[in-house]
Structure formats: C-alpha cells, structure tokens
C-alpha cells in the first residue's frame, strides 16, 4: 500500500521520538454526520460516514511497562506507567496534558484486568483530520490507538468494543460527555456508504449512499470557529434533553414520537420544548433519509438535510451565523442539500454537491463569508471511506 503524507509523518515521528521501526501502522478516519445531530446521547438514530481524512498511529510493544505517546501536533512526548494509567481519570486528570488523555484514556479503558503481563506500548500519532472542526479528530485518534492496542495487546475485541473504549476515554479521561456515534462511524465506515446507527441497541447497518454513481460529492465548509465539547453549550443541551425526558416520563427522548410533541409543549417551558422537538423530529428525519436512500438514492435527501439545519438553528440553537451563511449560500449555488454537522457552536457545515458545481459552491461561500466580514472558510471535499484498519 502506498502511504500518504500523514502516514509517513507518523512513521517519521516514531523514528524521531521512539526510534527505529514501529511494529505496525494503524489508522482511523474522521467522520461527517450526514444527518442525526444530538440524537446519539438521546438513544436515537444517526447516519454518519467515515471520511478520507485519517489519524495514523505508528506503534510497537516495549519491554518497559509504560505507555509513551507522541503527536506531530504536540511538542511533548507523554509517558505514563501502566500501573498509573488511572492518572487520566477524573480526580487526577491534571497530571496528564489534555491531548494525551485521548490515547491514554483508550489504553486505560482497554487494560482489561490490569493483566500483569501486558507489555508497554510506544505510539507516534499524525493526522490529516482537522482538529476541533466537527470532523471528530477525537474519535479518529481514539480509534486509531484502540485498533493498535487491540493487536499489540492481543485483545481480539470486536469493533463495537473498541468504539466503546474510545467513548469511555472521551467521557471519563477527557470529561467530554459525548455519545458513541463518532467512534462507531470511525470503526464501521465503508467506501461510498454511511453507517446507520441505533444508539440504544448499538445495532448498525451500512447504507449505500450511491454518491459515486450519481456524481455527487460532499463539500466540507470549515468555518474555522473552534469549539470545545468539554465545556459550555454542548453540556447544557445534553442536560436540557435529560430534563425533557424526565418531565415526559421516558428513559430517553428516543422514546418520544412526533405525536408526543403536543403533550411536550404543555409540560415543558418554551426552550426545553424546542430542544425536545429538535431531537424528536431529527430522529424522524434520519429514518426518512435512510428510507429515501434505499428507495430513490441520494438525489432526494436534500430537503431533509435543510430541515435538519433549520431545526438546529431555530429549535436547538447551536448554529452560528457563519454556519447559516454556509448552508444558505451552498444551496443557492447548486448544492442539493446542506447542514451544519457536529456538535455546533462552530465547526463545519456539509453540502452535498453535484461534482461539476463544487467550484461554484466553494467560490460562492467564500465570497459570502468575505461580504459578511467572516474569516475565510476552508472548503474541501471528502469521500465516504473505510473505517479503522491496519495500514502496514
Ligand atoms: P473534534 O473531535 O471535532 O476534532 P474535539 O474537541 O472533540 O474536536 O477533539 C479535539 C482534541 O482531540 C484536540 O484538542 C486534541 O486534544 C485531541 N486530538 C485530536 N487529534 C489529535 C492529534 N492528532 N494529536 C494530538 N491530539 C489530538
Ligand atoms: Mg470530538
């Protein structure tokens, strides 16, 4: 296999910080979520796909009982003894720099019973997934490391168990209360397909997108406005959903249907009601998108993407003017549909665009951003791609 620049960077970093040749090279992709936003932690449905941007982990076993992690994005190599991996957990989190809690949190989640014979591991990480843009560089680093440790520690876990370890790292070691969608997309993705996930049962199904045949591409419009999932609005929205479910007497908002919304409007204050309405209607839109893809192919999903964006803008209130401008302009310039993707408050929008219109859409969005006085967006195409794998 011919290795791309990020893969080579991981190997070069390995040589520079750890020395010699790694035992192997593993990678996991970022993802975009085609539709189904803030439904994952409500036990609902999502439809992400893995993208052709990946995080690589060049790794090897070591005789010393410690884990060493290095990243091209960080100056410092971080080292923790296997019997001290609980350093990444909440009460002692400050002991380890934030970025290292992603890979070390995965290691900690995978340390099954602190088996005395587990070898140490050295990992060097490089990535071409943009960080903090809503493309889930966090799941990519977690899943690349999970795939590496699964082999180096001979755990032989299935992909869902590895995804769970990634989520545990993010929730417990980093302290970001995210769901499991990103990790499952990074683990289960397939070329020209999306991963339809039931976040309650964790059942998944690969759904053909048919983008290739229809000449459709996906344009990511990265606003450059960064967000942190560990703080602020994301947590508040999550709490609002828990509150809504409690008032409605259900385990999770997944248990409500569009027919329950009239009762929700009576029982909840206006803001809580709108949060609930977003989740309930978004679940419906995911199911409708899957049905539309199966019955008619991708040409008919545009309106569902736009309705999803409107719901996030007006009901869930997680969009920002840059994202609204990106969506409106993309559609006016020829996209069949567009929406913000990811947790919100920044990050990226996606637009599904006939390939011949990609340049028009990019130019129009760039001009609209300039006219509004926003920082220039970064637009790039992504292709639905395979999930975590061993590359060398
Ligand atoms: P997103 O997942 O949308 O990119 P997050 O805030 O969830 O944004 O995760 C980004 C964080 O993940 C970074 O701030 C960093 O701590 C960590 N991270 C992701 N990729 C890498 C990498 N290649 N090297 C080091 N840390 C990384
Ligand atoms: Mg993330």
pLDDT digits over 236-273, tens only? 999 999 999 999 999 999 999 999 999 999 999 999 99
Average pLDDT, the chain: 94
pLDDT digits 0-9 by tens, 140-169: 999 999 999 999 999 999 999 999 999 999
- Measured CA to CA, the distance from residue 27 to residue 6 in angstroms comes to 10
Retrieve residue 80's tokens: 């923790």
Query: Given pLDDT bands bounded at 50, 70 and 90, which one contains residue 94?
Result: confident
pLDDT value at 229 more than 80: no
Closest CA to 388 of 150, 88, 155: 150
- Residue 187: what pLDDT? 97
Q: Which of 9, 43, 122, 182 is catalytic?
A: 182
Give nearest CA residue, ligand 1 atom 11.
138
Q: Are 304 and 288 in contact (CB under 8 A)?
A: yes
CB atoms under 10 Å from CB of 302, counted, come to: 18
What is the structure's pLDDT at 342? 83
SS3 string, 34-45, reads: EECCCCHHHCCE
CA 325 to centroid of ligand 1, rounded, Å: 26
Average confidence (pLDDT) over 38-54: 96
CATH class of the domain comprising 5-33+53-188: alpha beta
At a CB cut-off of 8 Å and minimum separation 6, what does 16 contact? Answer: none
Is 182 an annotated catalytic residue? yes
Token pair for 284: 């419906």
d(CA 124, ligand 1 centre) in Å: 15
pLDDT at site 377: 97
CA of 329 to the centre of ligand 2 (A): 26
Closest CA to 228 of 272, 276, 187, 174: 174
φ/ψ of 245, rounded to 5, equals -65, -40
Among 53, 98, 99, which residue has the most ligand 1 atoms within 8 Å of its CB, making it the best to mutate? 99
Kindly compute the dihedral angle of the four CA atoms of residues 26, 68, 76, 174, in this order, to the nearest 10 degrees: 80
Per-residue confidence (pLDDT) for residue 209, from 0 to 100: 98
Mutate to test the pocket of ligand 1, among 54, 58, 102 (most ligand atoms within 8 A of CB): 102
Nearest atom within ligand 1 for CA of residue 71: 24
Q: Which residues contact 313 (CB under 8 A, 6 or more apart)?
A: 319, 323, 324, 340
If you measure from the C-alpha of residue 121 to the centroid of ligand 2, how many angstroms do you get, rounded to a whole number?
A: 24
In this prediction, residue 228 carries a pLDDT of: 63
Atom of ligand 1 nearest to the CA of 176: 7
User: Sorting pLDDT into bands at 50, 70 and 90, what band is 89?
Assistant: confident
> What secondary structure letter does DSSP report for 24?
E
Question: Which of the ligands is closest to the CA of residue 55?
Answer: 1
- The pLDDT value recorded for residue 114 is 60
pLDDT class of 230 with cuts at 50, 70, 90? very low
Q: What is the mean pLDDT of residues 268-294?
A: 98
Q: Is the CB of 132 under 6 A from ligand 1?
A: yes
Does pTM surpass 0.95? Answer: no
pLDDT (tens digit per residue) in 186-222: 999 999 999 999 999 989 999 999 999 999 999 999 9
Q: Is the predicted pLDDT of residue 231 greater than 70, yes or no?
A: no
In this predicted model, what pLDDT tens digit does every residue of 358-383 receive, in sequence order?
999 999 999 999 999 999 999 999 99
Query: 71 in ligand 1 pocket by Cβ < 6 Å?
Result: yes
Domain boundaries, the chain: 5-33+53-188
Give the closest residue (by CA) to ligand 1 atom 17: 99
Residue 257 Cα, ligand 2 centroid: separation in angstroms? 28
| Beta strand residue intervals within 15-146, DSSP E | 24-35, 45-62, 66-71, 78-81, 120-127
Asked if residues 301 and 212 have their Cβ atoms less than 8 Å apart, the reply is: no
Which atom of ligand 1 sits closest to the CA of residue 72?
24
């Amino acid at each position: 296999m011919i290795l791309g620049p990020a893969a080579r960077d991981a190997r070069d970093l390995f040589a520079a910080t750890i020395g010699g040749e790694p035992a192997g090279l593993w990678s996991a992709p970022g993802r975009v979520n085609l539709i189904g936003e803030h439904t994952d932690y409500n036990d609902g449905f999502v439809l992400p796909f893995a993208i052709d941007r990946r995080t690589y982990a060049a790794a090897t076993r070591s005789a010393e009982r410690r884990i060493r992690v290095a990243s091209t994005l960080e100056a410092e190599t971080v080292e923790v003894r296997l019997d001290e991996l609980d350093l990444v957990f909440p009460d002692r989190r400050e002991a380890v720099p934030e970025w290292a809690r992603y890979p070390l949190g995965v290691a900690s989640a995978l340390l099954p019973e602190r088996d005395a014979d587990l070898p140490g591991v050295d990992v060097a990480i490089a990535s071409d997934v943009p960080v903090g843009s809503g493309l889930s560089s966090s799941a990519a680093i977690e899943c690349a490391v999970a795939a590496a440790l699964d082999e180096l520690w001979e755990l032989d876990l299935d992909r869902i168990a590895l995804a769970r370890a990634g989520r545990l790292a993010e929730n417990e070691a980093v302290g970001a209360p995210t769901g499991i969608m990103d990790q499952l997309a990074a683990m289960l993705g397939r070329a020209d397909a999306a991963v339809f996930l039931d976040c309650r049962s964790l059942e998944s199904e690969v759904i053909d997108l048919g983008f290739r045949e229809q000449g459709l591409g996906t344009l990511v419009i990265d606003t450059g406005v960064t967000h942190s999932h560990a703080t602020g609005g994301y947590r508040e929205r999550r709490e609002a959903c828990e509150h809504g479910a409690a008032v409605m007497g259900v385990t999770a908002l997944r248990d409500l249907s569009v027919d329950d919304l009239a009762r929700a409007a009576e029982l909840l204050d206006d803001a809580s009601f709108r949060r609930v309405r977003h989740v309930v209607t978004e679940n419906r839109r995911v199911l409708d998108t899957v049905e539309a893809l199966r019955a008619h192919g991708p040409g008919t999903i545009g309106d569902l993407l736009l309705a999803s964006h409107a719901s996030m803008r007006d009901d869930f209130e997680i969009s920002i003017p840059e994202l609204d401008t990106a969506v409106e302009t993309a559609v006016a310039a020829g996209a069949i549909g567009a929406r913000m993707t990811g947790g919100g408050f920044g990050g990226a929008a996606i637009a599904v665009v006939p390939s011949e219109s990609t340049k028009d859409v990019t130019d129009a969005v760039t001009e609209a951003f300039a006219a509004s006085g926003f920082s220039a967006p970064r637009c790039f195409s992504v292709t639905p791609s395979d999930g975590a794998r061993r590359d060398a």
